[in-house]
Amino acid sequence: MKNQISFRVYGKYGLFTDPLTKLGGEKSSYPVPTYQALKGIAESVYWKPTISYVVDEVRVINPIRMESKGIRPMKYNDLSKNDLAYYSYLREPEYEVKVHFEFNKNRPDLRQDYNENKHYQILKRSLAKGGRRDIFLGARECQGYVEPCNFWEKAGAYDNQENPQYFGTMVHGLDYPDETGIDELRVRLWQPKMEKGVIVFPRPEECPNIRSIRKMSAKNVALAEIQLADDLLQELEVSDS
């Protein structure tokens, strides 16, 4: 697919929080990453308001294992009485991810920055350097690392599993006003299926269940406030020479 990249992301722990487990002050990770978490990782590699990432599929490399830890979350209203909570993390998660980018059609004012090839070249350079911002596997305490890869490059724990795995209803992602053109924040739900370690994601607009959370307006970023892809690529080429 045009503008598509594949990358490997891994870390010691991951916490793709199931919101149902947060009600009692504790957290438990989904067994697999959400669309939104993988999109956030791609945006940490390289992002501008001109483009929007679409996550195509993810491949689970390591076995799905959980590890619980006792955490003392800070209570800002009473620092002397911190509670003990148990967080359930994914242990040694590793994934191969396919994503591609599209231009954000809700930002026609940024059309001058619609340089497809330049953005693609910057994205590949940024990925080769491990991303332009810190990578997290769902939560800030779960440091992650990215590197370029070919899909199916590495043997996975579920490559030979004949029966598909189902994970019930999960959060797919969030609809933000700057990408939908609608002044509200919405959450998307779906029921993922993993076959031979691979989960294929529907596009956000194809999700079967969408729920409104609250009203929200898009943040306005003017063209004069961003660095055009032409200038950024030229700057990167000079720094690499």
The yes/no answer on whether domain 4-73+82-240 falls in CATH 3.90.1170.50 is no
Pairing state of beta strands 85-91 and 27-28?
parallel
Instruction: Give the strand order in the sheet containing 209-215.
Output: 170-175, 184-190, 209-215
Question: Residues 176-204: pLDDT tens digits?
Answer: 998 898 999 999 999 999 999 999 999 99
pLDDT of residue 139: 92
> For position 227, what pLDDT does the model report?
86
Residue-range domain boundaries for the chain = 4-73+82-240
Token output for 190: 């779906």
Residue 224's pLDDT band, with cuts at 50, 70 and 90, is confident
Residue 185 burial (CB count, 10 A): 16
Residue 72 has pLDDT above 70, yes or no: yes
- For the chain, the DSSP string reads -TTEEEEEEEESEE--B-GGGGTTT-EEB-SS--HHHHHHHHHHHS--TTEEEEEEEEEE-S---EEEEEE----TT-TT-PPPEEEEEEES-EEEEEEEEEE-TT-GGGGGG--HHHHHHHHHHHHHTT-SS-EESSSTTSEEEEEE--TT-S--TTTT--S-EE--SEEEEEE-HHHHSSSEEEEEEE--EEBTTEEEPPPGGG-SEEEEEEE--PPP--GGGS--HHHHHHHHHHHH-
Q: What average pLDDT score do residues 153-159 get?
A: 95
Please tell me the predicted confidence (pLDDT) of residue 4: 94
Q: Is 36 left (phi over 0), alpha (psi -120 to 50) or beta?
A: alpha
Q: How confident is the model at residue 79 (pLDDT cuts 50, 70, 90)?
A: low
Beta strands 198-200 and 209-215: pairing type?
unpaired
d(CA 195, CA 203): 18
Retrieve residue 163's tokens.
């029966």
- Asked if 180 and 106 count as a contact pair (C-beta separation under 8 A), the reply is yes
Residue 80 has pLDDT above 60, yes or no: no
